[in-house]
Each structure stands twice: as structure tokens, then as C-alpha cells.
Amino acid sequence: MIKIWHKVDSNFREGGSFPSDFELIATVETDDLEHAFERTNTIEHYWGENEEVEILVDRGCRSSSVGDVFELNGEAHQVASCGFVKIEKG
């Protein structure tokens, strides 16, 4: 399972202090970061309706983007302009 953390200021840039600058918004039942990214983006319909996804907040959510963090097995991976970058919790 991957925890999806969206950056609170949503400036769509890498960085920020994890987890204080982020909000846990969803989980995705997968161990594949790329698959979780696809499942948390609105393509043909709102991504919160995708199988494997559980929304954890009481509102609609934007699609995942650069700067957001995907947490897998306690390790944080920030969405980069191409792929993911492992980051430390601060």
C-alpha cells in the first residue's frame, strides 16, 4: 500500500519538509509508484473513483503532481519532473 501525501502549498515544485508541509489524502493498494501515480490522476474520470484508491479527506482532491510524496514501506518518494526522488523525513 502506498500513502499519498499532497503538498499543502501546491506550488508543483520539489522540496518542502516532509511530512509537515504535506497532507495525507489517500492510499493506493499497490507497491508500484508509477501505478499509484497513474491511479491518482484524473484521466477519463475523477481519480477518487478508481479501484485500489481510498480517499482519506472529506473533499475532492487535485491530481498528484510534481512535489507530492508517495510513501511506500515507510520510505518517502517525491514526485519529480521525471520519475521519483527518495527523500528523508524531516
* Domain map (residue ranges) of the chain: 2-87
Cα dihedral value 31, 77, 47, 26, nearest 10: 80
CA atoms within 13 A on the CB side of 34: 2
Residue-wise pLDDT for 2-30, tens only, equals: 999 999 987 788 889 999 999 999 999 99
Q: Please, which pLDDT band fits residue 41 given cuts at 50, 70 and 90?
A: very high
Please say if the pLDDT value at position 60 is more than 90: no
Please say if the pLDDT value at position 43 is more than 90: yes
pLDDT attached to residue 35? 98
pTM as predicted: 0.94
Q: Please, which pLDDT band fits residue 89 given cuts at 50, 70 and 90?
A: confident
pLDDT attached to residue 14? 87
Please say if the pLDDT value at position 71 is more than 80: yes
Beta sheet of 2-7, edge-to-edge order: 53-55, 22-28, 2-7, 69-72, 75-79, 84-87
